[in-house]
């Protein structure tokens, strides 16, 4: 491809609206342009990279035995009403009407459509297991579309759905997708972790993993072991409890101290006022679980893990109590709650129980209590693991590892759905005993366009993009320093033709631009190998530089071509 003809509008300056490194690079290197918030056009370079990502995904899906289909973006609202998601999906679901005033949605995902399809097309266990996938445009009216392709409102997703006759078989389908995902992200050159995730409100039985690209801009926090492969989302992260409740100090009862703490409500304020560490305090939070108040106590330097508490209580609804409720149950404004004198159920974290004594709220405005002794004052509480993991906690899986924290971008998600959709949409098959039963389903997503951004968050330097070879828009950038110099141009054309014949994708910078401009653009668009044809062209000598290395090397024509073919 001749660069003079290519629609590749590079920008010197970072556009002010872009914050994420990947977004800035994509705009500057002329990969994408925005049409509306969260809605983008892929220019030729961006489209090429996206196609390469799609191709990797497609190859690995096919390899895993999944079959490609293509489902419509426009979906009748009735299907969504049947699954019960028409109401619960909320404003992210884009809704529209046709000329007959029938309601439709623009699909944010395709569980409904695929389940309806399989309901009418598959009737026997003999056809199972079956996994179908597509690479297709999704629509989600995100509240905060941002960071370019990382959170779009129209974006490209690979979504796959498995149908099995029982849970063992589902597990095999799930693992086959899980392994395919590992191959896909490895081939894309991504630094990622597969993390155990929380099943959350999507429902379903069994496991779910998210694939997280490690990057500072990521919205998720991941706890990962520094010794083994254990990794989990913060809300799901387990850790080995070092001090169990039974190591609790058999303390001698001391006197409670009444401490005047005017308007001092937060742990940080207490730390400052008392000049001691946050771990000397007990933090008491009032929640409501299915409408009833409960108190949760964690050490001052810890955070309550609401999912763990919610699961232990078996509550459907669990949230922080409002100020009115807190005041009613503690007799004090929010900020002064403590365990002593409370008549509601109390849950205390292991780490609190391991304290000899600490400072807690007094359930009285502007007062705290010192010398609160768990061994004495927290006799009738429910003890358990109610906190988030923190850096340095012991790995729950291996002996020696410690947890470290990272930020991550969710690029993929595998999920055991069970019968949630087959039940709702009445999708059944005849099993081996001739009995009708619902399909056991799994769903598996990869944000293909988000993946492009995630790769760029990891593969760039101060001069621009550094593409992994597997997804680079072109493999070789041939740059004659002076396009007006016929000798240089002839040699450049010759090299480009030779490489193209060998199946290598070449971009030829035939523009009549200053060398500085050409090199800056070349670095910015990040093609893995650059061949510069300059003043030694007449002797058949060119300069080669790998984008990910600092040094260039001079080689003769044939050696240069051999090098390019090899790399």
What CA–CA distance (Å, rounded) separates 368 from 272? 14
**Which region, judged by CB under 6 A, interacts with ligand ATP, from 329-337, 365-373, 442-450, 497-505?**
442-450
Give the binding range for ligand ATP (CB under 6 A) out of 120-128, 151-159, 177-185, 349-357: 151-159
What DSSP string runs through 81-146? HHHTHHHHTGGGSEEEE-TT--EEEE-S--HHHHHHHHHHH--BGGG-SEEEEEEEEEE---SS-B
**Exposed, middle or buried: residue 484 (CB in 10 Å: 0-12, 13-18, 19+)?**
exposed
Stretch that binds ligand ATP, among 260-268, 289-297, 340-348, 443-451 (CB under 6 A): 443-451
Instruction: Tell whether residue 349 is a contact of ligand ATP (CB under 6 A).
Output: no
DSSP labels for 245-306? GGG---PPP---EEEE-TT--SHHHHHHHHTS-GGGBEEEEEEEETTEEEEEEEETTS-B-H
Nearer Cβ to ligand ATP, position 157 or 224?
157
Question: Which residue number, 197 or 499, has a Cβ lying nearer to ligand ATP?
Answer: 197
Angle at 510 between CA 539 and CA 465, to 5 degrees: 100
Shortest Å distance, C-beta 432 to ligand ATP: 33
- Residue 456 interacts with ligand ATP (CB under 6 A)? no
Least distance in angstroms from the C-beta of 138 to ligand ATP: 7
Please, which residue, 411 or 506, has the CB nearer to ligand ATP? 411
What x-and-dash track marks residues 381-420 binding ligand ATP by CB under 6 A?
-----------------------------xxxx-------
Q: Which is nearer to ligand ATP, 201 or 380 (CB)?
A: 201
The length of the chain in residues reads 567
Does position 155 interact with ligand ATP (CB under 6 A)? The reply is yes
Placement of tokens 């001749």 in the chain: 2
* Strand ranges across the sheet with 552-556: 506-508, 476-480, 529-533, 541-546, 552-556
Q: Which of 30, 152, 218, 526 touches ligand ATP (CB under 6 A)?
A: 152
Report DSSP state, residue 13: S
Piece of 66-74, 148-156, 240-248, 425-433 that binds ligand ATP (CB under 6 A): 148-156
Strands 403-418 and 208-214 turn out to be antiparallel
Single out the residue of 22, 33, 56 nearest to residue 150, CA to CA.
22
Q: How far is the CB of 90 from ligand ATP (least distance, A)?
A: 12
**Stretch binding ligand ATP (CB under 6 A), from 125-133, 379-387, 394-402, 447-455:** 447-455
Is residue 338 a contact partner of residue 348, using CB atoms and an 8 Å limit? no
Query: Taking CB under 6 A as the rule, which mask of x and - marks residues 54-93 in contact with ligand ATP?
Result: ----------------------------------------
Nearer to ligand ATP, 151 or 518 (CB): 151
Find residue 217's DSSP bridge partners: none
Cβ at position 231, least distance to ligand ATP in Å: 16
Interface with ligand ATP by CB under 6 A: which range of 94-102, 253-261, 297-305, 446-454? Answer: 446-454
Distance CA 133, CA 61 (A): 8
Query: Looking at beta carbons, which residue is closest to ligand ATP?
Result: 447
**Measured from the CB of residue 137, what is the shortest distance to ligand ATP in angstroms?**
11
Which C-beta is closer to ligand ATP: that of 233 or that of 334? 233
| Residue in the structure block whose two tokens are 């096919």 | 62
Q: What is the nearest approach in angstroms of ligand ATP to the Cβ of residue 211?
A: 7
Query: Binding of ligand ATP at residue 46 (CB under 6 A)?
Result: no
* H or E, element range at 26: helix 21-28
Return the number of the residue (224 or 448) whose C-beta is nearest ligand ATP. Answer: 448
Cis peptide bond upstream of 267, omega within 30 = no
Q: How far is CA 468 from the centre of its chain?
A: 20
Q: Which residue number, 219 or 490, has a Cβ lying nearer to ligand ATP?
A: 219
Which member of 146, 406, 450, 547 binds ligand ATP (CB under 6 A)?
A: 450
Minimal distance, residue 151 CB to ligand ATP, in Å: 4
Candidate residues 103, 142, 366, 559; the one interacting with ligand ATP per rule CB under 6 A: 142
- Chain centroid to Cα 152, Å, comes to 14
User: What separation, in Å, do the N-terminal and C-terminal C-alpha atoms of the chain show?
Assistant: 20
Of 108 and 338, the one with the shorter C-beta distance to ligand ATP is: 108
Q: How far apart are CA 520 and CA 39, in angstroms?
A: 28
Query: Which residue's structure tokens are 């109390």?
Result: 346
How many angstroms separate the CA atoms of 236 and 199, rounded? 9
Please name the residue that has the structure tokens 């005041």.
Answer: 327
Distance CA 210, CA 410 (A): 6
Applying CB under 6 A, the span of 395-403, 428-436, 441-449, 487-495 interacting with ligand ATP comes to 441-449
Among 447, 464, 480, 526, binds ligand ATP (CB under 6 A): 447
Subset of 168-207 contacting ligand ATP (CB under 6 A): none
Interface with ligand ATP includes 151 (CB under 6 A)? yes
Name the minimum Å distance from CB 411 to ligand ATP: 5
Q: Toward ligand ATP, which CB reaches closer, 49 or 508? A: 49
Pick from 490, 567, 552: which is nearest to 522 by CA?
Answer: 552
* Least gap, CB of 158 to ligand ATP (angstroms): 8
Largest separation between any pair of C-alpha atoms in the chain = 95
Among 25, 157, 223, 452, binds ligand ATP (CB under 6 A): 157
> How far apart are CB 50 and ligand ATP at their closest, in Å?
12
Taking the complex as a whole, the smallest distance from the CB of residue 154 to ligand ATP amounts, in Å, to: 9
Q: Which residues bind ligand ATP (CB under 6 A)?
A: 109, 140, 142, 151-152, 155, 157, 410-413, 445, 447, 449-450
């Amino acid at each position: 491809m001749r660069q003079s003809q290519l629609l590749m509008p590079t920008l010197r300056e970072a556009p002010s609206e872009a914050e994420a490194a990947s977004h800035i690079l994509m705009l500057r290197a002329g990969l994408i342009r925005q049409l509306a918030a969260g809605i983008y056009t892929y220019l030729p370079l961006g489209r090429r990279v996206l196609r390469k990502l799609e191709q990797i995904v497609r190859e690995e899906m096919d390899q895993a035995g999944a079959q490609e289909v293509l489902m419509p973006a426009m979906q009748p609202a009735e299907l969504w009403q049947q699954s019960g998601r028409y109401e619960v999906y909320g404003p992210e679901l884009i809704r529209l009407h046709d000329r007959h005033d029938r309601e439709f949605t623009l699909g944010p995902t395709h569980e409904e459509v695929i389940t309806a399809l399989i309901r009418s097309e598959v009737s026997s266990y003999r056809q199972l297991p079956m996994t179908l996938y597509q690479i297709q445009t999704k629509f989600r009216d995100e509240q905060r579309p941002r960071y370019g392709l990382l959170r779009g409102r129209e974006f490209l997703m690979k979504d796959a759905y498995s149908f099995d006759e029982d849970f063992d078989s589902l597990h095999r389908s799930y693992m086959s997708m899980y392994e395919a995902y590992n191959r896909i992200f490895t081939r894309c050159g991504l630094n990622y972790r597969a993390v155990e995730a929380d099943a959350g409100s999507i429902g379903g039985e069994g496991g779910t993993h998210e694939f997280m690209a490690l990057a500072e801009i990521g919205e998720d926090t991941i706890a990962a072991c520094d010794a083994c492969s254990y990794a989990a989302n913060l809300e799901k992260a387990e850790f080995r409890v070092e001090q169990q409740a039974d190591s609790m100090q058999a303390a001698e009862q001391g006197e409670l101290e009444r401490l005047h703490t005017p308007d001092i409500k937060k742990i940080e304020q207490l730390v400052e006022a008392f000049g001691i560490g946050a771990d000397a305090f007990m933090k008491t939070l009032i929640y409501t679980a299915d409408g009833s108040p409960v108190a949760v106590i964690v050490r001052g330097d810890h955070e309550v893990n609401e999912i763990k508490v919610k699961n232990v209580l078996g509550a459907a609804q669990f949230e922080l109590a409002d100020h009115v409720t807190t005041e009613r149950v503690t007799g004090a404004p929010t900020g002064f709650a403590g365990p002593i004198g409370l008549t509601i159920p109390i849950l205390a974290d292991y780490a609190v129980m391991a304290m000899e004594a600490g400072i807690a709220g007094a359930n009285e405005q502007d007062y705290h209590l010192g010398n609160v002794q768990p061994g004495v004052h927290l006799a009738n509480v429910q003890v358990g693991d109610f906190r988030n993991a923190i850096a340095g906690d012991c790995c729950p899986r291996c002996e020696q590892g410690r947890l470290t924290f990272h930020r991550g971008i969710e690029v993929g998600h595998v999920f055991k759905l069970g019968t949630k959709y087959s039940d709702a949409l009445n999708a059944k098959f005849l099993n081996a005993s001739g009995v009708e039963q619902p399909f056991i389903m799994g769903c598996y997503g990869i944000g293909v366009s988000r993946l492009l951004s995630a790769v760029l968050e990891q593969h760039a330097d101060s001069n621009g993009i550094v593409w992994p070879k597997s997804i680079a828009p072109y493999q070789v950038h041939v740059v004659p320093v002076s396009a007006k110099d016929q000798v240089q141009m002839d040699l450049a054309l010759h090299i480009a033709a030779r490489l193209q014949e060998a199946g290598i994708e070449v971009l030829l910078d035939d523009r009549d631009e200053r060398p500085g401009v050409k090199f800056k653009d070349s670095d910015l668009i990040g093609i893995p190998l650059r061949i510069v044809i300059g003043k030694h062209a007449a002797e058949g000598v060119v300069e080669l530089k790998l984008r990910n290395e600092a040094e260039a090397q001079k080689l003769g024509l044939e050696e240069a071509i051999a090098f390019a073919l090899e790399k």
